[in-house]
Amino acid sequence: MEHQLELRHFRYFLAVAQELHFRKAAEKLYISQPGLSRQIKQMEELLQAQLFLRDKKKVSLTPAGHFLKQQTEILFKQLQDTKRRIQHIGEGDTGEIRIGFLGSAMQKVIPSLLLKLRDTYPKIKTSLEERSNINQVEAVLKNDLDLGFVRLAKVPAELKMETVYKDTFSLVLPESYPMLTRDYKGMYQFAQDNFILFNQEYSPYYYETVMSICSDAGFKPKVSHKSVHAHTIFKLVENKMGIAIVPTALQGGFRMRIKFIELRDIEQQATLSAIWKRENANPVLKNCVDLLLDRN
């Protein structure tokens, strides 16, 4: 069989190049001195270059040997770094996590998670995508996302779902709406108003919850407009196209001529849940979920 250069050749060479003494290098490698000499001779033949100058008093490197020593040290450092990174990837200390979310999750939950990740696992990279509930479920099932933040009552059995935030709902009214917070008595006061809601397809759980809030107040809301974006809903409210009910967390980040009345008298809550695939193989996911759920 034709001989080929193997990693052991470079390991043997580096030991001799560092010690400049065959016996000491052989002891360091736990092999015999004649065996080491044969391996170095074989390496020189395969490279067609002399690596060492040998005489009875000393061993020294040739120019080719000096160059190979530099390159071999770089090679072994890279191998060591690769080994360490692979181990860290296995531990979930580095890598990437792909996160899907609803807009409302960006107000509190996502920023908090990102800060924890930055402080605890600074080498983990995040990829963020705003998606609908259904789109997130599909993406997590297909391994296009590792983690999602949704408002759903249930998900497929292949997914794990944990509540991460419970919020109240708030009414969104035009700034000029003839009612102050202290004048609010109950949702029944808005039975004649037009409502602007998130699309049922975008967030069926939210849609059903808003319907139940109105139903508990004794009326079915007249829905004049639907959208998938909070900004659009708020803009429509600002222009007096109707009123809306949204998770209270969505109050932040918008500067418009609208006002909010928190609905503290109702039992319904805006529940935000994290979802992930039970069989997800990304080791970063476990560390991310542990931080999210304060398991550390």
Q: Of 50, 55, 72, 70, which is closest to residue 20 (Cα–Cα)?
A: 55
Mean pLDDT for the chain overall: 91
- What is the 3-state secondary structure of 243-288? EEEEEHHHHCCCCCCEEEEECCCCCCCEEEEEEEECCCCCHHHHHH
Domains of the chain in start order, with CATH, are 7-91 (1.10.10.10), 95-165+272-292 (3.40.190.10), 169-268 (3.40.190.10)
Q: How far, in Å, CA of 58 to CA of 120, rounded?
A: 52
Q: CA-to-CA distance for 260 and 3, rounded, in angstroms?
A: 79
- Output the pLDDT for position 87: 67
Query: E-strand spans in the chain?
Result: 52-54, 59-61, 95-101, 124-130, 147-150, 159-167, 169-174, 194-198, 222-227, 244-247, 258-262, 270-277
pLDDT at 1 over 50: no
Task: Give backbone dihedrals phi and psi of 38, rounded to 5 degrees, phi first.
Answer: -65, -40
**198-210 pLDDT per residue, tens:** 988 888 889 999 9
In single-letter form, the type of residue at position 176 comes to: S
Q: Specify which residues 125 forms β-bridges with.
A: 96
Q: How big is the chain, counted in residues?
A: 296
Token look-up 């967030």 returns: 203
Task: Determine what percent of the chain is predicted with pLDDT higher than 70.
Answer: 97
Q: What is the pLDDT of residues 127-155, one digit of tens each?
A: 999 998 999 999 999 999 999 999 998 99
Please tell me the least confidently modeled range out of 43-52, 142-151, 173-182, 256-265: 173-182
This prediction has a pTM of: 0.67
